[in-house]
Structure formats: C-alpha cells, structure tokens
Amino acid sequence: MGQAAVTICSKDSKGVYRNKCPKGGVACVASIAQMELCVSREQFTESYQRVGVTGALKKMPGIANPSVAFQFGNQKRATQIVPYLTKKCAELAKSTWEATFQQFVDLNLIDGIPQHRYVQGNVWPVARFAYDEECTLIPCGMSFAVYPLKVGTTLEEWRGLFTDEAIAELSTEFGLLWLFTAVHQVPNKKPTGYISGLYQCCEAAAAVQPKVRASLKKLGLLDLLSALPYERTVGAGLTIKTS
C-alpha cells in the first residue's frame, strides 16, 4: 500500500491534460461489489465520503483513474466497480475494502459485507474530468449490464469488438465518458460479459437504453450472447478521480 494511483490520462507541466483515450483501452482487473442499502442514496453518498473512501483510494497501488464507478440501480441496491492495473493490486486492496464495508455495516448503511467478484477486462477513460476536484464524488449517470455469453467466448474475442473507432462513435453518439467491459470465466460454466458506462447525468444514461440492442448488433456483440441479459440497470452514479 502507500503508492499513488496510476494516472492514465497525464497532465503536462502546466497541469493541462494532453493525452487522448489510450488506444485499445487499458487492461485491468476489476473488483465488482453489489450491496443492499439500508439508507437513502443521499445518506449513503454523504457517508461514503465521510468514512474516508476517497482518501483510501489514493493509497491503493495500481488503481486506474477514474478510480471508482458507483451506481444506484434503485433505492436499495448499488453496484461498485473499481478497476486495477493488475490482479495483485486488486488483491492488495481487498482488506481495505473489507474494512470499509465493515464500517458501512456498523453504521447501518448496508445489509452485510458484499462479496467481491474479480473480472478481467478493459477500461476506456474517455473523459478527463479536468474541471472536477481530486478525491471528491463526481455525480453522473451510469449503466451496468451483465450478459450470458456463448460457451467458448473468450476475453480476447469480447474485447476485440470494442475497437477504437467503436469507442469514438459511442462517445460522439451517446456522450460516453467512461466505458468498462469484462468477461468472467468459470470452469464448466458459460462465461459472463459485463458492460458499464458513465454519462453526464442519469437522464443521458437512460436515453441510451432504447438504442442498446442496435449498438450491440453494430459492434457484433449480439453474436456472442447466449440469452437476454441477466441484469441491466440504469441509474444515478458517482465517480472519483484520484489525480
């Protein structure tokens, strides 16, 4: 611990962002945690920052930037995605998150400590969030979808459909700020695909949903799905940049 977060979009000597979204995105291992809330989203948001989550993120090694995507799927359910540059970094951060979630339980904010699911994938930090303060909660809209994939579908096959041209088009057409995709593979079971995006606001994220099937078809993703999505939620979200 004690290492600074990795900055994917660097700044020049004057503090101006110069880098474009990295070609091919950034390979990552992400921790996905889903929790049941015991309080309103407003109360949880206030407590999320008060217990020191934003400060802890700066100390986590190999964390991507933006460092957290957090969605309120409804009034009582929330999903948190935290991408790391390596599996080892994700594992090193596990005890910190468990202690944080225990604080949430003790404060009656969530119902039990959520399980972490670690998945391999990519993030595309399209937006720089250049006008937002570091280590503060940035309101946004967020989509989160979980898809059953056909047997034999690999991470490379799934990831390969998200070309730089496709990401640029999604950003232009839908106002996409950040994209996360991943595949979770379990022996003797069908793999699972994940897609999550951040948008300027909840309304912007919701406006994209009627066009999801068309975008999946254009990307070639429909050919890899074995059924309808297990889960697809759109809601208010939060993100945090750590540098």
pLDDT digits 0-9 by tens, 149-178: 999 999 999 999 999 999 999 999 999 999
Q: What is the mean pLDDT of residues 69-93?
A: 91
pLDDT tens digits, residue range 15-40? 433 445 677 789 999 999 999 999 99
The residue assigned the tokens 């699972």 is 192
C-alpha 66/C-alpha 87 separation (Å) is 18
Res 18: pLDDT: 40
Q: State mean pLDDT over 205-230.
A: 91
Say whether pLDDT at 208 is over 50: yes
pLDDT-derived band at 52, boundaries 50, 70, 90: confident
Domains of the chain in sequence order = 26-240 (3.30.70.100)
pLDDT above 60 (res 230): yes
Residue with tokens 């900055």: 7
Q: Which residues contact 53 (CB under 8 A, 6 or more apart)?
A: 68, 100, 240
Cα dihedral value 89, 237, 17, 82, nearest 10: 10
Q: Is 158 helix (H, G, I), strand (E, B) or coil?
A: helix
**CA nearest 209: which of 131, 116, 141, 109?**
141
| Percent residues over pLDDT 90 in the chain | 64
| pLDDT score, position 21 | 65
- Least confident range from 5-14, 25-34, 194-203, 224-233: namely 5-14
Terminal-residue alpha carbon distance, the chain? 17
